[in-house]
Structure formats: C-alpha cells, structure tokens
C-alpha cells in the first residue's frame, strides 16, 4: 500500500508540534523550543519516526517503549528546483586546496547538497572530491561558501582543468558542470598572460573631461 504525507501549513506548525510533544515523539531528544520559531523549519523536508511499545505488567497495556527509529530525510520533489550554478566568486585554486569560494545557485536544501569536483578523461573519472562546508555555510538556500579540496597530487608543473558541479545526494541529481582550473603550488612557473598596455597609466593619457576618480583608481 502507498503511504501519503500530509503537509502542514505554516500557521498550523505550532499546534502540530504541540500534539507531537504530548505523545512524546522526540527521537533526537532536542525538545520543542523550535515550535516558537516556525520560520526556521523547512516544510519541504521530513523524517518518518517509528516507535514500538511493548506490553507492560498490566495485560493489554503497551507502556514499555523501545528506542525509536527514524528514516533518512524525505524531500518534497515538487518543491526542489533543478540544480544550477549561477556564478562562482573564482574559477581557479591551488592544487593544495583550502581556498574559499562563494557559489551562487538556484534554491537548494542545505542538508542535501554537495559541491563536487572531478577530473574526466575519455569518459573515465580520474579524480573526484567535494568542497568542504557546513550546513551553516549555505545562505538562504541560494549561496554556498566552501573550501576547495586537495587535488590527487601536488606534483604538477602545469595547470589542470577539472569540473565543478552541484550534486544532490538524495537522488543523485547534478547540475551542469563548469570548468575549474587547479594551478601548481609554485604558480610562478606558469607563463603569465601578456598584459595589454594601459593607456591611462599616466595623467596625460586620461581622456579630456574624464572624472578625477579615474586617476585615483589607477
């Protein structure tokens, strides 16, 4: 048989939690103080709690509880958008890892998201790892602050191009990958790009009528 999950409206959260408190449903022993802060509760995620009571000394009365068991988090698929990386604060980092990157994305669930890095060659995955972050590093479900992982080897002489993408562990869904550059520890060995001459480097090259701020910024 199928099992349906009835959604609770925001205005009914406090009452629903009060009823659960009365029947002592608290598998994580965290109390019910969050009932006063309904805005902090994700209404698109739920766990199922199963608890068995054994018959007590009085026949016909089941008063001896066993340790409750909870399911993994179940997410409302209708409320989950496709995974999309909108913008990265930077698209390169050292092979040593540990660089802080800010990723802007479409709405994600902070408990069900990872930032995956991987290197692929001829359809084979040569290396993969994930960015390091906590749930608290996911801001308003649309921004993730994470640190880059360490590459499989630090002994490289030239930059390596890998991919970065979002991944949702619950269903394996992924975003379109974006290129990400990992450069050697001694980045001085990299051939610098030729810098285009800046014709505004000297005051006499500032266009007539240009605001003085241009010179102050140079």
pLDDT of residue 216: 37
Nearest of 185, 165, 172 to residue 88 by alpha carbon: 165
This prediction has a pTM of: 0.57
Residue 118 pLDDT? 98
Closest CA to 167 of 121, 217, 128: 128
Specify the DSSP element, H or E, that contains 21.
helix 13-22
Is 62:45 a contact under the CB 8 Å cutoff?
no
Domain 80-189 grouped into CATH 2.60.40.10: yes
Nearest Cα to Cα of residue 26 among 47, 5, 42: 47
pLDDT of 193 reads 46
CATH 2.60.40.10 residue ranges of the chain are 80-189
Q: Give yes or no for a contact between 10 and 38, defined as CB atoms under 8 angstroms apart.
A: yes
Reduced to 3 states, what is the DSSP secondary structure of residue 129? strand
Over the chain (218 residues), the average pLDDT of each successive run of 10 is 77 89 87 83 85 89 89 76 94 97 94 96 95 96 97 95 95 94 77 44 40 37
> Which whole-number Å values give the CA distances from 112 to 71, 101, 115, 183, in the listed order?
14, 19, 11, 30
Closest CA to 41 of 11, 68, 19: 11
| pLDDT for 79 | 65
């Amino acid at each position: 048989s199928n099992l349906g999950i009835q959604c609770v409206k925001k205005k009914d959260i406090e009452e629903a939690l009060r009823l659960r408190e009365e029947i002592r449903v608290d598998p994580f022993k965290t109390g019910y103080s969050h009932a006063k802060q309904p805005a902090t509760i994700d209404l698109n995620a739920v766990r199922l709690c199963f608890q068995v009571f054994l018959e007590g000394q009085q026949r016909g009365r089941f008063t001896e509880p066993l340790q409750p068991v909870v399911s993994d988090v179940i997410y409302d698929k209708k409320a989950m958008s496709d995974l999309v990386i909108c913008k990265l604060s930077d698209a390169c980092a050292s092979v040593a890892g540990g660089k802080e990157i800010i990723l802007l994305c479409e709405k994600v669930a902070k408990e069900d998201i990872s930032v995956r890095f991987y290197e692929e060659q001829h359809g084979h995955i040569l290396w993969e790892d994930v960015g390091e972050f906590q749930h608290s590093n996911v801001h308003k479900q649309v921004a993730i602050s994470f640190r880059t992982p360490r590459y499989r080897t630090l002994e490289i002489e030239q930059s390596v191009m890998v991919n970065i993408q979002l991944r949702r562990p619950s269903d394996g869904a992924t975003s379109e990958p974006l290129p990400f550059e990992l450069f050697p520890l001694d980045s001085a060995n990299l051939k610098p790009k030729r810098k285009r001459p800046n014709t505004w480097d000297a005051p006499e090259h500032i266009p007539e009528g240009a605001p003085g701020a241009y010179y102050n910024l140079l």
